[in-house]
Amino acid sequence: MHLRTLSWVGAFSVYLVLVMGALVTNTGSGQGCGPHWPLCQGRWFPLLRADMMIEWNHRLITLIATLIILWLAWRVFFREPVAPSHKKLMGASLFFFFLEGGLGAATVLWPEPAEILALHFGVSLLAYSFVFLLAVALSQEERGRWEGAERSWHRLTGWLLFLTFVTIYTGAYVHHTGSFCHGWPLCAGTSLLSWPDYLLPQLFHRLMGLALFLLTLYWWKKGVALPHPAVQKAARWGLLFMTLQVIFGAFIAWQGAALLWAMLHAATVPLFFSAQLYGYYVTLPQRSQLRKAA
């Protein structure tokens, strides 16, 4: 298999791990296999029980993804003549992927506070991000020489990535603390002046989501105005996935955290992040410029 193809397979496998992890969380199946890891209730194969099957399949997909990532790492480090920057991306992918696995095992074996549980999805997203960036880097060797407005958009993309990550963390924190409420954009029967303390994480997440949506609109407007197809593509896809995030999040609030909307909400998070990462990468300085800077 060509290295570029393998890198995309690796990115997709980590994406599936993310989605399956969200399914485990949203169905409350995290303890489906009991306090056993890597076995499931002391078995290699689970009983035909929903929570056990979901958790076991999550572990199975994680195992398959691990083998793919290790194969990719072996090719990148020992078999293929790749750039040093590609090896750095691969190293970061390995670090966050195995950190994610360690956090997942710790979640099963030892109870953890909501702050740590919320980090699990964030670390998973970082693992996916670096594999995705490696796939993009292997697929697009040459980048343009960006000037003025492009550099400004590149910096804006960096801030958007940061705000997105913080918003994602607050969303995971809301889930793990149970600070859910019906109604959108405000909780039913509340106003900003009468918002109860136990729902403050929910308020903060919604305010962060609003700020993120407004910044994404600005980012999209600046991106589509630039005369570069790759930047325009990133901006358009980013706005699409951000809009879907808002819609799915609203349906979660309206329909009481229904599994369908919760899963769609979780599944589009990495796609929105991917559009930003792609835009960030294609507006990086050329490798020759990076060497001079180093």
By annotation, the residues acting in catalysis are 55
Axis crossing angle, helix 3-27 with helix 259-282, rounded to the nearest 10 = 150
- Give kind and range of the element (H or E) at residue 240: helix 229-254
Q: Which residue has 């343009």 as its token pair?
A: 144
**278 DSSP assignment:** H
**110 DSSP assignment:** S
* DSSP per-residue codes, 18-49: HHHHHHHHHHT-TTTT-S-SSSBTTBSS--S-
183: its two tokens: 């109604």
130: its two tokens: 């670096």
Q: Which residue has 């696995």 as its token pair?
A: 101
CA distance 268 to 262: 10
270: its two tokens: 């990495």
- Give kind and range of the element (H or E) at residue 91: helix 84-109
CA distance 3 to 82: 10
At residue 8, what are phi and psi to the nearest 5 degrees? -70, -35
* DSSP per-residue codes, 40-78: BTTBSS--S-HHHHHHHHHHHHHHHHHHHHHHHHHIIII
Residues forming a β-bridge with 43: 40
